[in-house]
Chain A
């Protein structure tokens, strides 16, 4: 159940539409593409602040697109952190 409004890509205008466009154009491994074919929920969850979205996902890209930890190690950390914080998204 949504607690705060999400502006969907189809409803976005101005800076948010531009940011959504840039986000959808970034390279992404197939495994991270949602089965519903749309923009991932965690991206849309930032829709109320179009200035924040690119900064967060630039940081995410910097952490996840390279580095010494293997993919399975990064996923292990992500899953464990989410379990501890009781985030079941």
Chain B
């Protein structure tokens, strides 16, 4: 079923399956393009507000898991009994936003509706952004802004690259956000060459960017539903 999510999203007999897959695809690939019409389509497919929020949270979480698994290159826990598809490294990156949802518009679905979600996101965000090692706090802000720009999240304060390491971190954040299947030794070479050489330092850079994809994806999706 999941070998071709787009095809199944169009053709599956169950409207709930179609609604879940369409939402998963849009939140993963172009959350900035969602609108209230997509929200209504999900409702018409049989999902209610709490179910839609749950789906957005799950999609965002697995976006992080995918990025970390690929960034580290961890082996599968299970034998490949089904003939898993192969990586296509030449796949074009996800698109940059051509519009940015206004986070100030009252949102029809809010994170506060899910008990405990705000606290869990806040705890993760504090760890990701409010530390000074390995990345500095400024470098974390640069990464957060780079990710936010690429997902259409207008809630993140601008933080411009000030030196070569910042610029290399933006390049890495670009891969993490828009082409996570390209995370490998080559992707890490620029920041290693500029001094973030240890694996723990590289992991901090990737994990910070990946965390920010979760935060920005949630922000953008819920803001976009208000259009």
Contact = CB atoms under 8 A, between A and B. Distances in A.
Interface of A: 1-6, 34-36, 40-42, 44-46, 48-49, 51-52, 55-56, 58-60, 62-64, 67-69, 73-74, 76-89
B183 A42 contact: no
17 contacts: A4-B72, A4-B203, A4-B206, A45-B69, A45-B74, A51-B127, A76-B20, A77-B55, A79-B1, A80-B5, A81-B24, A82-B62, A85-B67, A85-B180, A86-B85, A87-B69, A89-B76
B199 A85 contact: no
A78 B199 contact: no
A5 B48 CA distance: 42
B50 interface: yes
Contact of A82 (B20, B66, B116): B66
B2 A88 contact: no
Contacts of A81: 24, 28, 58-59, 62-63, 66
Interface string B9-29: 000000011001100110011
Main secondary structure of the interface of B (DSSP, over half): helix
B200 interface: yes
Contacts of B24: 76-77, 80-81, 84
Interface in B91-124: 91, 114, 116-117, 120-121, 123-124
Contacts of A88: 76, 84-87
A86 B65 contact: no
